[in-house]
Amino acid sequence: MRRHVLLAAGLLAACRTPEAATPVDEVTSSTGVVVSAHHLASDAGAALLAQGGNAVDAAVATAFALSVTYPAAGNIGGGGFMIVRLADGTATSFDYREKAPRAATPAMYQDRQGNILGAATDSGWRAIGVPGTVRGLAMAHAKFGARPWKDVVMPAVTLAEQGFPVSAAFAQELNAAVANLLTHFDASVAAYAKPGGGAWAAGDTLRLPQLGRALRAIADEGPDAFYTGWIADSIDAQMRAHRGLITRADLAAYQAVERVPVRGTFNGHELIAMGPPSSGGIVMIETLNLLEALGTAGMARGDARTLHLRLEAARRAYLDRARFLGDPDFSAIPVERLTSKAYAAELAAGIDTAHAGSSLALGADIVTGAEPGHTTHFSVVDAQGNAVSSTYTLEGWYGSGVVIAGFLLNNEMGDFNKKPGFTDQGWNIGTPPNVIAPGKRMLSSMSPVIVTKDARLRLVTGSPGGRTIPNTVLNVVLGVTLFGEGARAAVDAPRLHHQWMPDTASVEQGAASDSVLARLRAMGHAIRVEGPRSQGDAHTIVIDQATGVAHAANDHRSPDSGASVPRKP
Catalytic residues: 375
For 193-227, the DSSP string reads SPTTSS---TT-EE--HHHHHHHHHHHHH-THHHH
If one asks whether residue 466 binds ligand DON (CB under 6 A), the answer comes out as: yes
Q: Closer CB to ligand DON, residue 386 or residue 391?
A: 391
Which of 202, 200, 210, 196 is closest to 161 using CA atoms?
210
If one asks whether residue 176 binds ligand DON (CB under 6 A), the answer comes out as: no
Binding part of the chain for ligand DON, among 100-108, 289-297, 359-367, 438-446 by CB under 6 A, reads 438-446
Q: Closer CB to ligand DON, residue 155 or residue 465?
A: 465
Instruction: Provide, rounded to whole angstroms, the least separation between the CB of residue 376 and ligand DON.
Output: 8
Out of 104, 208, 335, 446, name the contact with ligand DON by CB under 6 A. Answer: 446
Residue 81 · residue 278 · CB < 8 Å = yes
If one asks whether residue 135 binds ligand DON (CB under 6 A), the answer comes out as: no
Instruction: Provide, rounded to whole angstroms, the least separation between the CB of residue 445 and ligand DON.
Output: 4
Question: C-alpha dihedral over 509, 514, 515, 521, to 10 degrees?
Answer: 80
Instruction: Provide, rounded to whole angstroms, the least separation between the CB of residue 375 and ligand DON.
Output: 3
Cα gap 354→351, rounded to integer Å: 9
If one asks whether residue 45 binds ligand DON (CB under 6 A), the answer comes out as: no
Out of 67, 306, 393, 428, name the contact with ligand DON by CB under 6 A. Answer: 393
The one-letter code for the residue type at 529 is V
If one asks whether residue 499 binds ligand DON (CB under 6 A), the answer comes out as: no
Instruction: Specify whether the backbone of 29 is left (phi greater than 0), alpha (psi in -120 to 50) or beta.
Output: beta
Cα gap 249→247, rounded to integer Å: 5
Out of 173, 382, 415, 485, name the contact with ligand DON by CB under 6 A. Answer: 415
Out of 132, 373, 401, 406, name the contact with ligand DON by CB under 6 A. Answer: 373
If one asks whether residue 372 binds ligand DON (CB under 6 A), the answer comes out as: yes
For residue 306, the Cα-to-chain-centroid distance in whole angstroms is 26
Site map (CB under 6 A) of ligand DON, residues 332-371, x = contact: ----------------------------------------
Instruction: Provide, rounded to whole angstroms, the least separation between the CB of residue 229 and ligand DON.
Output: 27
Q: Which residue of the chain is nearest ligand DON when measured via CB? A: 373
Residue 411 · residue 128 · CB < 8 Å = yes
Cα of first residue to Cα of last residue in the chain, in angstroms, is: 43
Q: Closer CB to ligand DON, residue 133 or residue 444?
A: 444
Q: Closer CB to ligand DON, residue 54 or residue 389?
A: 389
- The footprint of ligand DON on residues 5-34 (CB under 6 A) is 8
If one asks whether residue 261 binds ligand DON (CB under 6 A), the answer comes out as: no
Element (H, E) at 252: helix 248-253
DSSP 444: B
Q: Closer CB to ligand DON, residue 132 or residue 479?
A: 132
- The footprint of ligand DON on residues 199-258 (CB under 6 A) is none
Q: Closer CB to ligand DON, residue 376 or residue 481?
A: 376
Out of 287, 386, 389, 444, name the contact with ligand DON by CB under 6 A. Answer: 444
Strand partners, 85: 91, 387
At residue 155, the 3 state secondary structure works out as helix
DSSP 175: H
Q: What is the CA radius of gyration of the chain?
A: 22
Cα gap 346→333, rounded to integer Å: 19
For 285-311, the DSSP string reads HHHHHHHHHH--TT--TT-HHHHHHHH
Binding part of the chain for ligand DON, among 240-248, 321-329, 400-408, 464-472 by CB under 6 A, reads 464-472
Binding part of the chain for ligand DON, among 223-231, 241-249, 326-334, 444-452 by CB under 6 A, reads 444-452
Residue 335 · residue 343 · CB < 8 Å = no
Strand partners, 417: 435
Q: Closer CB to ligand DON, residue 292 or residue 395?
A: 395
At residue 458, the 3 state secondary structure works out as strand
Q: Omega before 470 cis (within 30°)?
A: no
Q: Closer CB to ligand DON, residue 3 or residue 207?
A: 3
Which of 388, 406, 89, 451 is closest to 231 using CA atoms?
406
Residue 560 · residue 170 · CB < 8 Å = yes
Q: Closer CB to ligand DON, residue 16 or residue 207?
A: 16
If one asks whether residue 129 binds ligand DON (CB under 6 A), the answer comes out as: no
If one asks whether residue 395 binds ligand DON (CB under 6 A), the answer comes out as: yes
If one asks whether residue 464 binds ligand DON (CB under 6 A), the answer comes out as: yes
Out of 375, 400, 534, 558, name the contact with ligand DON by CB under 6 A. Answer: 375
The one-letter code for the residue type at 271 is L
Residue 54 · residue 32 · CB < 8 Å = no
What CA–CA distances, in Å, run from 396 to 12, 188, 206, 464, 567?
A: 14, 15, 21, 11, 35
Question: How many amino acids of this chain bind ligand DON (CB under 6 A)?
Answer: 16
Instruction: Provide, rounded to whole angstroms, the least separation between the CB of residue 537 and ligand DON.
Output: 9
If one asks whether residue 374 binds ligand DON (CB under 6 A), the answer comes out as: yes
Q: Closer CB to ligand DON, residue 96 or residue 226?
A: 96
Cα gap 74→230, rounded to integer Å: 22
Which residues make up the interface to ligand DON (CB under 6 A)? 8, 372-375, 393, 395, 412, 415, 444-446, 464-466, 469
